Amino acid sequence: MDTITLKSGRDASLRRRHPWIFSGAIARVQGSPQSGASVRVNSDKGEFLGIGGYSPHSQIRVRMYAFDDVDFDADYQRHLVAAAVARRQQVFTQGQRTAYRLIYGEADGLPGLVVDRYNDFLVCQFLFAGVERHKESLVKALMSETGCRNVYERSDSAVREKEGLRPLCGSLAGEPPPSLVEVEQGGLILMANLLEGHKTGLYLDQVENQRQVGALCGGKTVLNCFAYTGGFSLTALAAGAAEVTSVDVSAPALAMATDHVRRNSLDPSRHSSVEGSVFDVLRNYQREERCFDVIVLDPPKFAENKSQVMKAARAYKDLALQAARLIAPGGLLVNFSCSGAIDLNLFQKITADALLDAGRSGSIIRYLHQPADHPVALNFPESQYLKGLVSLID
């Protein structure tokens, strides 16, 4: 096995078991490791630090598999998959979910691998050269440990380009899933488009937040922005919201949201859809002097990396500012960021500045975050990305 030797003083994070080694931390490479090959990692003094996967095209040059001397072989991969499955069995003791995240990359010891389960269909994203190299054995481990026989690949993320990998989609085992798969999420029925939907079909990281926010919406008028297929809209309606408006730029997504209202036997007269840019819709509503009791802002990722933080901060602030001008006194602003580069303190400051500019004041009554099937590894704070604020607006 080839060896990576770190520069002097660049081993501190690795000794804290942080799993990433950037190219600038490497002093020399002994051997000629191919993309995705396993490598030994040593300190500048020759001390063995662990085993990782090598990615010559990425700034994250090595992602660690283990901090002891193991073989990242089929048996070890099956052990990691089995541990991840066991964790999910522990956390799903309440409520009914037939769709959830089964493998969450570095947080489950499998860097760059994302696996979501929809009933008996597994949908995978291989986002790192190391797991791409071991795709066949990982698929076998997934089938062995879950009993699933259908594994579909949605490795269509732009992240693969940084790994020198081309986008790939298609069946890895069994038949491809149908165009729509019905799943249950906290007592609600949703249709997931595993072949073409966002992410792997649904935003599985908001299920618990949707339930919590919905419980605050009884008798309220609710504006759900970036609604996609209506998750927050459904929980609000199920909790007795007086009126819910779903806003999204995608007409097919809004059509699915309307279908979800019907499938869950919710009152369609209390739900309406608006197709368009959320930024434009919020400004139009101000001109119309509209007012809402609850506004939910759940935008896509605005910052892919630290270089985009300032631009993203302006977008998050503009959204919160425009929404604050539409909220009735005593109403709620529920805003989220899924940008890992935007930490909670910065996001809270952005929201506070937006309220100040809107001439409003508020107080946070609840913090929201990603659910237990998206665990945050203590040694890998980057695994925490989703943050949300529920603010009471004066």
Catalytic site residue from 148, 217, 225, 338: 338
Name the nearest CA neighbour of 78 among 142, 125, 172, 152: 142
* CB 390, CB 332: distance < 8 Å: yes
* CB 267, CB 293: distance < 8 Å: no
Half-sphere exposure of 213 (CA within 13 A, CB side): 36
Sequence-separated (6 or more) residues with CB below 8 Å from residue 178: none
State the Cα–Cα distance between residues 20 and 224, nearest whole angstrom. Answer: 37
State the Cα–Cα distance between residues 330 and 370, nearest whole angstrom. Answer: 26
Tokens, residue 85: 């499955």
Known catalytic residue at 338: yes
State the Cα–Cα distance between residues 260 and 141, nearest whole angstrom. Answer: 34
* CB 354, CB 321: distance < 8 Å: yes
Catalytic residues: 338
